[in-house]
Structure 1
Amino acid sequence: MLRRIMRGRDPSEAHRVSTPLELLFDLCFVVAVAQAAGQWHHALADGRVLAGLVGYASVFFAIWWAWMNFTWFASAYDTDDVPYRLLTLVQMGGVLVLAAGVPAAFSHGDFTIVVVGYVIMRLALVSQWLRAAIEHVEGRPTALRYAAGITVVQFGWIARLWAPGVWAYVTFLVLVAAELAVPLWAEYRGHPTSWHPGHITDRYGAFTIIVLGEVVLATFTGVQDALSEPGETPSVLITAAGGLLLVFAVWWIYLTGAEARLVGLRTALLWGYGHYVVFAAVAALGAGLGAAIDTLGHHSRLDIRVAALAVAVPLVVSLVVFAGLHRVAGTGAVGHPLLVVAGVVIVLGIAVGAPGLGLGLAVLTMGLAVAATLAANLAVARHRRRSPDTQ
């Protein structure tokens, strides 16, 4: 259809899943995710852990926040007409501009191109909110608050490009807080947007799977490069097997919470905001696996223990956040505190002991440990579901 009136969609609409346009949108964002993870991988290999982590967290916030805002707007106001598609195209172009600026942001802290791409995406979304304000009378106050809040913060991001020294870090944190505050201000003060709970969980699940695909690709690329060193072939193949097992276990853990019950704005925001850590940790897992394979091929400055920790740390962060999100959403298998703590301790212990085990065997053992943690959580969850019937 060329054009239809933009009104809030029915939040109880049946069979609401990701649209083809949303999936294409996600693929453009994965380019930026791959750029950020790739630069983090290179920072690890060069031993620039702290500087690389700061750059990675900063760039990933811009990627995640722009994706999240589009996702929630689309859940409430997707008309799928020509104006909507064209403004979505502008946002897709914006994320590709952002992705082009990621290397400069990592190498010498130049965020100019990243900010340009980010502002393009955000102002395109402002146009969508203004359209919603004009055409959806009931939601006008909320839509105008979103448009005003996003616009003001974009002026802040542009001005930050001239912030000197430590003020660059201070203003970044202030602007992040401002971005996160806009939905709270807009939703609580106005007519809440009619986002669809099932659609939101489907969108987040689809993007998580796409990011896991990036982990597989990063691991495969590392293996391909490392196999040029014949003497390291067994260790590289063991690491690859462990990486594949980790990807499968992380996917399975996440899948157990796929039917999240997003009841109320508070639960929905906790779920949505918590996925910054999910996406960033999963992408960082791929970078860590790549750095581990580089270490085996003698293309990295990392020692074996640090290389193992580059895999273990994002992995345990994922486990902890999954547990928290599953508890918030009232679903999912990974939620028993003692089992989560046990899994975290075991994985970190394996990483610390990697010099004795060998890096390849350490990664494979981490995969087995996470799989065992999942199996134990599934058994506990099954017991809890059956216990009311036996009482």
Structure 2
Amino acid sequence: MIKLGTIPMGMAVAVAAAIPAVSSAQSSVTLYGAVDNALAYTNNQKGSSNVYLKSGSLESAKFGFKGQEDLGGGSRALFRLESGFNLNNGMMSDQGAIFSRLAWVALANDRYGTLTLGRQYTPYLLYVGAIGAAPMLTGATGAHPGDIDQLDVDSRASNAVTYSTPDMNGLQFSTMYALGGVAGAFSSGNTFSAALKYNYKTLDAAVGYLRVTNNAVAGTFSTTATGTFDQSPINAGYVSAHAVQYIAAAALYGFGAAKVGVNYANTQYKPGVGSLFTDTAIFNNYGVIGQYSATIAWTLAAGYSYTRATASNGVTNAARFHQFSFEQTYSLSKRSTIYLLEAYQMASGQTLSAQGKGHIVNSVAMVGRTSESTPSSNGRQFVGMIGFRHAF
């Protein structure tokens, strides 16, 4: 330690001024985000066509802060705070929770890996979702029907502890446990996820597991459970599940200006005491995607997914969904993009309504995650959008 009284005053002032400058050079805080809006057309929302503005269609509208400090010896302190909002009315994505998207702090080391604490994405999403439809096709129209496999952006957990290994020649593993916080019932309301990914040259592959556990009263999924999942008419009969389990795998290969990928996911809604259904409901999802960079500015992408439920809970003609999704983007700059999105979905078969077992209804179409509360009135739905996204 330097004692200012043992050196000339001028030098002491110079040393004191230099100390915070060195510290500042080793740490940083960044403000970032995206503003995104689109004019959308849907041919059938509960029986009527609709023209409307859709916030966050290519990329979720959001802002956040991220930072790091170099601790020396290959170690770093990290943090991230992120909030979502609706560009058309200025409201937060989740009322009463300003940083509902992300809120975590982490300690990372080049040799030993990273430990992250707080509200964060699951390894299942970060590894498998990152090479599924999400990086090529926006969730608004490219997510699989109703985001039934939870591979779009909403796979987060609160009260979570995550450990991720360092990159080991392209191989990396991550596991997360989110504490339910229910006294006397350690497993109630918790979330567990684990995933493995491998990167070699232009090949990316990943497998992942996610289990979200309920701690709610009969007929609902608790808002205090650590994990969340998208709810829509596609899974309305099963949201009272005791637990929801996901297993998924994806691979993506690039050659020249093109990329092609395949993905598979198995989703299981497991009943418990008080659930409104009695048999495990299973949805299998198969997808293929492709992308082509036609020019420096133009990028084209397309995807197809097939989703099928298994027969259970009195449903013999199980629900089936075919979805075709397309995306064209034109980059005005590194941060500003004009885009076009189109998707068409065909639904058939039957499923349970929100009243549960004994209440069988015809399946309805609902493209991606565009209209969870306003599905088609039948088994067909088309959605088209033109929008503008600016990142900062």
* Richer in helix (by share): 1
TM-score (normalizing by structure 2): 0.24
Higher Rg of the two aligned structures: 2
TM-score (norm 1): 0.24
Bigger RCO of structures 1 and 2 (CA < 8 A, at least 6 apart): 1
Which structure: greater strand fraction?
2
